[in-house]
Amino acid sequence: MCMKPGVKAFFDEETNTVTYVVADPSGNVCAVIDPVLDFDQASGRTSTDSADQVLNFIHGNGLELAWILETHAHADHLSAAAYLKSKSAGKTATGKLITGVQATFKEIFNLGDEFAPDGKQFDCLLEDGDRLELGAMEILVMHTPGHTPSCVTFVVGDAAFVGDTLFMPDYGTARADFPGGDAAVLYQSIQQIFALPAQTRIFLCHDYKAPGRDEYQWESTVEEQRASNIHIHDGISEQAFVEFRSQRDSQLGMPKLILPSVQVNIRAGEMPPPDDSGAVFLKIPVNVL
């Protein structure tokens, strides 16, 4: 029988993001997936209220934080990975192909020699098929690109944490028009997820409440997704999906936090280095995206 990890979700309504604490139920070891650093865009101020809620849960339940995992370099919130690392012995990790994303955005933001697109900002770069120890359990890494080139899904026992690849069945799938995104590749990645056992729990990184639904939701199953995902249920061909996704993406605006968040997230949650005065700045490129 597949082991069932303990999963605690923390929903940040400001960014519609779900952070997860995943724990080995037979021990005291846990991982955090996709943590949020609070950011007020109008003032440029950060706070750690959301991340502190996660830490309080970990400490209150006697857990040891082993891993701080990112499914990809998010475009809709700043990562609290560096903050959690500073407060624990947890190691940061993400997909190995983050280096390509870093190279793309290094050029977009003209970051210069201070930023090396080599992935060394993270403690571990993960390849498809890698397995991370989580107490008596393992975290299986699945490379599931398409939304971004470096997206990964983390499978722990009967649970799969799919990042932005899928939303709730009534909301659909991720966009694929960010730099390096590809709708055909996204389709193929989702087929990998659909090949997991039918009762695998699917944990999503976001929810926006589909029309007609009044409550936020972020958990479904492979069976539910294959049966009723409005964009990619069983029977939808790759060509039909690519045509739909491309047309839909052409009508979407950029996420409101994409410019500040990507600069931080390609650095594993660290801010850019301060200037000579000690002040930290984020860049806003004009007419680029």
Q: For 2, what's the count of Cα atoms within 13 Å in the CB-facing half-sphere?
A: 17
Counting residues of the chain whose pLDDT is more than 90, the rounded percentage is: 97
pLDDT digits (tens, 9 = 90+) for 149-170: 999 999 999 999 999 999 999 9
Residue 239, token pair as written in the block = 């060509």
| Residue 17 to residue 161: CA distance in whole angstroms | 13
pLDDT band for 115, please (50, 70, 90 cuts). very high
Segment 180-201 mean pLDDT = 97
Percentage, residues of the chain above pLDDT 70: 100
pTM above 0.85, yes or no: yes
Say yes or no to pLDDT of 288 above 90: no
**Residue 174: its pLDDT value, please?**
94
Q: What is the pLDDT of residues 200-229, one digit of tens each?
A: 999 999 999 999 999 999 999 999 999 999
Does residue 55 contact residue 78 with C-beta atoms inside 8 Å?
Answer: no
For residue 265, give the nearest of 126, 137, 118, 102 by alpha carbon: 102
Give pLDDT, residue 289.
Answer: 79
Say if CB 98 and CB 150 are below 8 A apart.
Answer: yes
| Whole-number average pLDDT of the chain | 96
pLDDT exceeds 60 at position 1: no
pLDDT of residue 3: 86
pLDDT of 27 reads 87
Q: Is the pLDDT of residue 188 over 90?
A: yes
Residue 278 has pLDDT above 80, yes or no: yes
pLDDT (mean) for 245-256: 95
Q: What is the mean pLDDT of residues 278-284?
A: 94
Distance, CA of 166 to CA of 194 (rounded, Å) = 11
